[in-house]
Amino acid sequence: MTLLRWRASMSLGVPTIDADHKHLIEILNRLHFLKLAGDDSGSLGNVLGELVEYTRNHFTREEALMRRCGFPGFAHHRQQHQAICDALADFHLAFYTDPAGFDMAAFYDFVADWLLVHVMREDMKLRPHLVKAGLFANAG
Ligand SMILES: [Fe+2]
Report CA(9)–ligand 1 centroid distance (Å): 15
Residue by residue, pLDDT tens for the chain (140 residues) are: 789 999 999 999 899 999 999 999 999 999 999 998 888 888 999 999 999 999 999 999 999 999 999 999 999 999 999 999 999 999 999 999 999 899 999 999 999 999 999 999 999 999 999 989 888 775 44
Report CA(132)–ligand 1 centroid distance (Å): 19
The residues, ordered by sequence, that sit 6+ positions from 41 with a Cβ below 8 Å of its Cβ are 95, 99, 100
Report CA(119)–ligand 1 centroid distance (Å): 6
pLDDT value at position 138? 59
Report CA(140)–ligand 1 centroid distance (Å): 18
- What region, left, alpha or beta, does residue 4 occupy, with left being phi > 0 and alpha being psi -120 to 50 degrees? beta
Report CA(80)–ligand 1 centroid distance (Å): 8
pLDDT value at position 2? 84
pLDDT value at position 139? 44
Domain 9-132 classification at class level:
mainly alpha
Ordered by start, the domain boundaries in the chain are 9-132
- What is d(CA 61, CA 44) in angstroms, rounded to the nearest whole number? 26
pLDDT value at position 140? 42
